[in-house]
């Protein structure tokens, strides 16, 4: 009996080892891809952030001088941070509010609603360059359609928009609403998952439409709002394509977003080491903001 038991144990161990080998064999493409295309670039970028590297010559290790220069001797670093925080602080809450409002309107069972949902979502799938070129024409102060409508409908002389230092960031904030379609789809999925019995019970108690939204809809939608808030913060700190196509950071660096400044250092001025240090600071900023949001989430996010 002991002999049979020992054979059974060895046979089971052999089967488990074979299963482990098969498991690692199947995940080996992902492991190799992660090491080559994710882990290695991450560690390389951190090393380059500690070097003076201009792509042509070999990297020269200089320690934390790039970071010291960034915080002490680079006013454009602080200016790009200011521009990006201004844009993010307005566009992210505005995008959440507009997307949720439109989702509430589109969460109705009426004829033709699928066409309205498609119309609101379609702009979200258009590429960044095409969007930038389109809005550059819309915001043109001389022949743009926006200023034309302001004058024809309200007799208001439109501002310079992307040609004005004061109006260029508000123009980008308005343009950010072009992509609310993605958030609308997510909000619609959440709204359709709310039990209708809750609204029926609230109506029996005499609750009005706004009361139902405040007491039922918003608390049950808070996890989805949290998700859209985090993804919105991350995307708002990575604005590049539209700024590069429409203004290239102008006028007078008024639209010099952080990601655009990083790009200019890396691929126009060939300060690759300095650009790598900028990228790591951007990573720390986004990580800090994300952790702060998660830290405050228990106070306003409600789970079923």
pLDDT by 10s per residue, the chain, length 304: 444 455 556 665 676 677 888 888 889 999 999 999 999 999 999 999 999 999 889 999 999 999 999 999 999 999 999 999 999 999 999 999 999 999 999 988 888 888 988 888 888 888 788 899 999 999 999 888 999 999 889 888 989 999 999 999 999 999 999 889 999 999 999 998 888 888 888 888 887 878 888 888 899 999 999 999 999 999 999 999 999 999 999 899 999 999 999 999 999 999 999 999 999 999 999 999 999 999 999 999 988 6
Is 60 in a helix, a strand, or coil? strand
How crowded is residue 279: how many other Cβ atoms within 10 Å of its Cβ?
A: 19
CB atoms within 10 A of CB 199: 15
Cβ contacts of 15 within 8 Å, gap of 6 or more: none
CB 222 within 8 Å of CB 208 = no
CB atoms < 10 A from the CB of 229, how many? 20
Measured CA distances, 11 to 1, 3, 22, 23, 208 (Å) = 15, 12, 17, 18, 68
Task: Dump pLDDT digits (tens) for 4-42.
Answer: 455 556 665 676 677 888 888 889 999 999 999 999 999
Alpha-carbon distance values, 85 to 75, 151, 173, 289, 295 (Å): 15, 32, 12, 11, 20
pLDDT per residue over 96-135, tens digit each? 999 999 999 998 888 888 898 888 888 888 878 889 999 9
Judge contact between 170 and 138, C-beta under 8 A: no
Picking from 194, 56, 184, the residue whose alpha carbon sits closest to that of residue 122 is 184
């Amino acid at each position: 009996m002991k002999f049979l038991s020992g054979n059974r144990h060895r046979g089971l161990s052999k089967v488990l080892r074979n299963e482990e080998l098969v498991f690692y064999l199947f995940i080996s493409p992902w492991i190799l891809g992660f090491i080559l295309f994710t882990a290695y670039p991450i560690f390389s970028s951190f090393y380059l952030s500690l070097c003076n590297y201009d792509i042509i010559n070999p990297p020269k290790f200089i320690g934390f001088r790039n970071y010291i220069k960034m915080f002490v001797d680079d006013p454009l670093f602080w200016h790009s941070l200011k521009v990006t925080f201004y844009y993010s602080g307005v566009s992210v809450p505005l995008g959440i509010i507009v997307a949720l409002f439109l989702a509430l309107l589109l969460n109705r069972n009426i004829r033709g609603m699928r066409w309205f949902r498609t119309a609101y979502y379609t702009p979200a799938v258009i590429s960044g360059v095409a969007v930038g070129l389109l809005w550059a024409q819309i915001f043109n102060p001389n022949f743009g359609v926006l200023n034309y409508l302001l004058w024809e409908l309200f007799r208001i002389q439109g501002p310079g928009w992307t040609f004005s230092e004061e109006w260029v960031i508000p123009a980008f904030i308005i343009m950010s609403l072009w992509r609310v379609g993605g958030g609308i789809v997510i909000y619609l999925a959440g709204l359709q998952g709310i039990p209708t019995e809750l609204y029926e019970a609230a109506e029996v108690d005499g609750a009005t439409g706004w009361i139902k939204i405040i007491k039922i809809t918003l608390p049950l939608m808070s996890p989805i709002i949290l998700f859209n808030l985090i993804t919105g913060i991350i995307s708002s700190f990575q604005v590049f394509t539209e700024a590069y196509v429409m203004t290239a950071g102008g006028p007078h660096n008024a639209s010099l977003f952080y990601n655009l400044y990083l790009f200019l250092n890396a691929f126009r001025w060939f300060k690759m080491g300095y650009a790598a240090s900028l990228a790591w600071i951007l990573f720390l900023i986004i990580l800090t903001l994300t952790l702060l949001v998660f830290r405050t989430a228990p106070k306003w996010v409600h789970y079923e």
